Amino acid sequence: MSHFLNQFEVFFDQFTIPSLSKTALEAIACGCKVISWKGPVTHPEEIIKTTTSRL
């Protein structure tokens, strides 16, 4: 999993649990920035553009 996650800078975690998922914790351990998203995704390209412009 670390070989896969190391390819990315940002990991979007979309789970309904109140805390981070196990996958999000693995992403953090690999050095990714984690964004927890609890709402619906209607236009994912807008979320990515808006979020990454703020990093």
26 neighbors 2 (Cβ within 8 angstroms): yes
Q: Residue 38 corresponds to which tokens in the numbers above?
A: 């609890």
DSSP readout, the chain?
-HHHHTT-SEEEE--SSSS--HHHHHHHHTT-EEEE--S--S-HHHHHHHHHHT-
Is the C-alpha dihedral spanning 19, 22, 28, 29 positive or negative? Answer: positive
pTM of the model: 0.62
Q: Indicate whether 10 pLDDT > 70.
A: yes
11-49 pLDDT, tens digit per residue, is: 888 877 778 889 899 999 999 988 887 767 667 677 677
Range of the domain at 7: 2-53
